Amino acid sequence: MEATKPFTEAKECLIWDREHETMPRPQLEKLQLERLQQTVERCYDRVPFYKEKMDALGVRPEDIKTLKDVSKLPFTTKHDLRENYPFKMFAEPMKKVVRLHASSGTTGKPVVAGYTAKDLDTWAELMARVLTSGGVTDEDIVHNAYGYGLFTGGMGFHYGAERTGATIVPVSGGLTKRQVMLWRDFGATVLCSTPSYSLVLAEQAAEMGLDPARDLSLRAGFFGAEPWTLEMKKEIEEKLNLEAFDTYGLTELIGPGVSSECPYHNGLHINEDHFLVETIDPDTGEVLPPGTPGEMVLTSLTKEAFPVLRFRTRDRTVIVQKPCACGRTTARMQRVTGRTDDMLIIRGVNVFPSQIESVILSIPDLEPQYVIVVDRGSSHMDDFEVLVECTENLLTKEDAAMLEVQERLSRELYQVLGINARSKVVKPKTLQRSEGKAKRVVDMRDINH
């Protein structure tokens, strides 16, 4: 895990809910068990899907006597949630549901999340924890560029920031030039956005002749909703002159607010009093001991409208239970390196987009704007191409320089992946930008063949 120095050394680490975030473990586990038992009972009694699944496994709510007994419960998958679209997973009548959000599913039906008034209150509390763990107080101006709407990012950060007393600027994604003007004019100190959109904003600021260190007041950013490497983090911190905090969550569990980094940057603290975490082997479903890499599985412990048992996130991480120097006792997850279903199999080799991103960002003449295209060639061999933008600086050099960078990229991709990739260095600002989550992989194999 990375370890960098706390960003405000003079300031003690701020904690929003000291009682829960620093609770001694035995007490925390007791609270988790009570909440787990209540959640299982609620699911069994109110959600036919869970009753059927639990009956089929021969498990009843009263069988949950310890936290380990969670492994007796059935998993919930994205597929299960889609099958029960839109409201069949809800444990409360619609009369009690005061808000709906939905995942940004590009294929098929989205996953729909319902919230009671109490769920919204819990969520705002969790988001206040997230922002406070990055040093946000009522003196901050929070520029929120996460999309508002069905996506949970915008409203999640919005109500969390309000709860801390900070001034929230609800900009949402898009109209990039205007965003940069508002950054400067309002004196935003905190940015909330996807990592990829923060780079689009940085690019725009540079185009407008702004130097973040001189002209902007940003000092912290909360980035999540998509995988991003440590190299990407460094790039964002340098380009925007701020400290980047990794923040994680998902629609199925609540939205953002599941876990977030503290100033020690050694993993994301999981809000364990609200979410029970396990790691499993994605192939066998077997529960793995803490410290072992695997797929993260989450159970909601306090949700009323849309409780979820053992949700298979598909996100790959490692859970660490050691206490942290910030004072929190909650377990930490390492930054998510990718999803188990993001893995590309190219000519029989497993390739993770994050490996490619690391290689690109280790080459100084390349920008963090890239796209990976996989197709099936005429000989039925997978064709694999990586397109990356170069810096303006490289353009000023001779043509040979561009070719040299391209060759270096191909060589280093081969060293890391063990297969040949065609790499193509393109001019700056030619690849498509996104206002939310970036689309880095275009896999034509399923579409064309």
Choose between 44 and 264: whose C-beta lies nearer to ligand DLL. 264
Q: What is the pattern of x (binds ligand DLL, CB under 6 A) and - over residues 213-242?
A: -----------xxxx---------------
Only segment of 17-25, 30-38, 145-153, 356-364 that touches ligand DLL (CB under 6 A): 145-153
**Backbone conformation region of residue 285, classed left if phi is above 0, alpha if psi is from -120 to 50, else beta:** left
Cβ at position 336, least distance to ligand DLL in Å: 4
Choose between 140 and 382: whose C-beta lies nearer to ligand DLL. 140
Choose between 256 and 294: whose C-beta lies nearer to ligand DLL. 256
**Which of 283-307 are b and which e, b meaning 16 or more Cβ less than 10 Å from the residue's Cβ?**
eeeebbeeeeebbbbbbbbbbbbbb
Contacts of 191 (CB under 8 A, 6+ apart): 143, 145, 183, 198, 201, 218, 220, 221, 222, 240, 242
Specify the residue for token string 């579409």. 447
Q: DSSP string covering 374-400, please?
A: EEE-TTS-EEEEEEEEEPHHHHTS-HH
Cβ at position 94, least distance to ligand DLL in Å: 22
Cβ at position 4, least distance to ligand DLL in Å: 17
Q: Which of 44, 115, 123, 146 binds ligand DLL (CB under 6 A)?
A: 146
Residues found in the chain: 449
Cβ at position 190, least distance to ligand DLL in Å: 14
Cβ at position 188, least distance to ligand DLL in Å: 17
Binding status of residue 147 toward ligand DLL by CB under 6 A: no
Alpha-carbon distance 423 to 421, whole Å?
6
Binding status of residue 315 toward ligand DLL by CB under 6 A: yes
Specify the residue for token string 């690391």. 358
Residue number with the smallest Cβ distance to ligand DLL? 224
Cβ at position 359, least distance to ligand DLL in Å: 19
Choose between 333 and 409: whose C-beta lies nearer to ligand DLL. 333
Cβ at position 156, least distance to ligand DLL in Å: 6
Cβ neighbours, 10 Å, residue 108? 10
Choose between 77 and 104: whose C-beta lies nearer to ligand DLL. 104
Cβ at position 313, least distance to ligand DLL in Å: 5
Specify the residue for token string 């590309």. 344
Q: Cis before residue 86, ω within 30 degrees of 0?
A: yes
Alpha-carbon distance 263 to 3, whole Å?
10
Alpha-carbon distance 37 to 65, whole Å?
8
Cβ neighbours, 10 Å, residue 398? 8
Choose between 425 and 438: whose C-beta lies nearer to ligand DLL. 438
Contacts of 411 (CB under 8 A, 6+ apart): none
Alpha-carbon distance 9 to 13, whole Å?
9
Nearest to 423 by CA among 340, 337, 347, 363: 363
Choose between 61 and 160: whose C-beta lies nearer to ligand DLL. 160
Cβ at position 215, least distance to ligand DLL in Å: 27
Considering only residues 241 through 260, tell me which ones interact with ligand DLL, judged by CB under 6 A.
246-251, 255-256
Choose between 61 and 154: whose C-beta lies nearer to ligand DLL. 154
Residues in the interface with ligand DLL (CB under 6 A) total: 21
User: What's the CA angle centered on 88, arms 85 and 94, to 5 degrees?
Assistant: 110
Cβ at position 332, least distance to ligand DLL in Å: 13
Q: What is the pattern of x (binds ligand DLL, CB under 6 A) and - over residues 333-362?
A: ---x--x-----------------------
What is the enclosing helix (H) or strand (E) of 100? strand 99-102
Choose between 201 and 405: whose C-beta lies nearer to ligand DLL. 201
Q: Which of 164, 189, 313, 369 binds ligand DLL (CB under 6 A)?
A: 313
Contacts of 222 (CB under 8 A, 6+ apart): 130, 131, 134, 157, 190, 191, 192, 245, 247, 260
Q: What is the pattern of x (binds ligand DLL, CB under 6 A) and - over residues 378-417?
A: ----------------------------------------
Specify the residue for token string 């029970």. 276
Binding status of residue 271 toward ligand DLL by CB under 6 A: no
Cβ at position 153, least distance to ligand DLL in Å: 3
Considering only residues 102 through 121, tell me which ones interact with ligand DLL, judged by CB under 6 A.
103-104
Residues lying near ligand DLL in the complex (CB under 6 A) are found at 103-104, 146, 152-153, 224-227, 246-251, 255-256, 313, 315, 336, 339
